[in-house]
Amino acid sequence: MEKMRGFEVANGWQDKNINLPIRKTAKSAAYDIEAAEDTIIPSFKLGQKPTLIPTGLKAYMQSDEVLMLFPRSSGPKKQGIMFPHSVGIIDADYYGNIDNDGHIMVQCINIKDEDVLIKKGEAVAQAIFQKFLIVDNDNAKGDRIGGFGSTNK
């Protein structure tokens, strides 16, 4: 059977008891993404960079699909975490890249007054696979040569 789309454990994380994402109900659109290790997210201060939460996961999909990472609706209230970029985009060619094997990291900031500990196995994001469209006369020919944040390099 040909692989269409799904999740795998990224290289270097095979012995870390990483749970593959699941949908919790039959009508859920999203797969819950868990933290791969305990991560402290400091209380937000202006000028501070977001914290990257490792997931230990990579995702494979068709060339006309994207994996979108969204904050969990309970994230700000329960965990104090938000995404500084609103939605994370994982392109099909991120899978297996030479820099990090396509390891998915979740960018977060903490809106609480104190540091927040995200524990291994705690859900930190939700992920949805989606088809996308391209415009007439699209001529994208570039190849990904790196991992996180490498599109324009």
pLDDT in tens, 70-107: 998 888 778 889 999 999 999 999 999 999 999 999 99
User: pTM here?
Assistant: 0.88
For 51, the 3-state DSSP assignment is: strand
Q: Enter the tokens of residue 26.
A: 């039959």
Contacts of 24 (CB under 8 A, 6+ apart): 32
User: What are the angstrom distances between the C-alpha of 72 and each of 42, 44, 60, 64, 147?
Assistant: 19, 19, 22, 25, 24
Domain ranges of the chain: 6-131
pLDDT above 60 for 22: yes
pLDDT in tens, 139-149: 888 765 765 55
CA atoms of 22 and 57, how far apart (whole Å): 13
According to CATH, the superfamily of the domain at 6-131 is Deoxyuridine triphosphatase (dUTPase) (2.70.40.10)
Neighbour tally for 68: CB within 10 Å: 16
pLDDT above 80 for 135: yes
